Chain A
C-alpha cells in the first residue's frame, strides 16, 4: 500500500499524459488535438509539482513555526510554463483559424483530401 501511494501520483500523471497523446494521435479535429496537447502539458506540470512536494512541508513562503518547506524550484519553472503555455496555445488556435479560412474545415482528413492534386 505504501509503495502504491508512493507511485500513485506518477502513475496518474502518466495516464493523463497518455490520454493527451492519444487525443493528439487519434482525433482528426484540430481543436481536439490542441485540447489533447493541453492535457499532455498539464500532466507535465503535475509531475513537476508532485516531485517538488515534501511530506510534512508547507508552501515555500517562509513563516515562523515552520522549518520544512516544499521545493520552490519546480514551482518557479511551472509558474512561468503555464503562462507561456496559454500564449503558445493561442498561437495554435490562431493557426487553426487561418486553416479554417483557407480550407473551410478543421478536420485533418478533409484538409488532406482537398490538398490532393486531382480533387479540384
Chain B
C-alpha cells in the first residue's frame, strides 16, 4: 500500500485520533464504559493501522519489537507490583484501600494503576502478535 495517497493522508489524520481516543478510554474507564482492556486493544489497532498503511518496517522502526516485548512484561509487573505495595503497606494482596491515607482515594489510585498495567500489557501483546504474523 505504498502509493495510495488517499490512504496515507487519511491515516495520518486518523491515527493520532485513535491513539488519543485510546488514552481517553483508558483514563475515563472509571466513569463511563472503557478501561485497560479496551484501551489496549484500540491503541494496538492504531499502531497496526500505521503498520498496514506505511509498511511494517516503518512501524518496527517507530515501535521496536524489543521495546514492545519489554512493555508486555512491564504491564503485568505493574499490576502485580501494586498488589505487593498493598501488602508492604499492611493490607492484603491487591487491597488498594491502604495505598493512601483515605481508603477511597487509595482505591482510585489502585484502580488507575492496575488499569494502566492491563492497558500496557494488552496493547503490547496485540502489537507483538501483529509483528509475529506480519513477518
Contact = CB atoms under 8 A, between A and B. Distances in A.
Contacts of A79: 35, 37
A47 to B, nearest CB: 20
Interface in A68-82: 79-80, 82
Chain B interface extent, by class? 10 to 19
If over half of B's interface residues share one DSSP class (helix, strand or loop), that class is named, otherwise mixed; here it is helix
A97 B133 CA distance: 9
Given A83-B41, A83-B122, A90 B129 contact: yes
B92 to A, nearest CB: 20
Nearest to A82: B37
A94 B132 contact: yes
Interface in A53-103: 59, 61, 79-80, 82-83, 86-87, 90, 93-94, 97
Contact of B37 (A80, A94, A97): A80
A61 B33 contact: yes
Contacts of A94: 132-133
B37 A83 contact: yes
B32 interface: yes
A22 B126 CA distance: 29
Interface in B89-135: 122, 125-126, 129, 132-133
Interface of B: 31-33, 35, 37, 40-41, 122, 125-126, 129, 132-133
Q: Sorted from nearest, which 10 A-B pairs have the closest CB atoms?
A: A90-B129, A83-B37, A83-B122, A79-B37, A87-B125, A94-B132, A61-B32, A80-B37, A83-B41, A61-B33
Interface of A: 59, 61, 79-80, 82-83, 86-87, 90, 93-94, 97
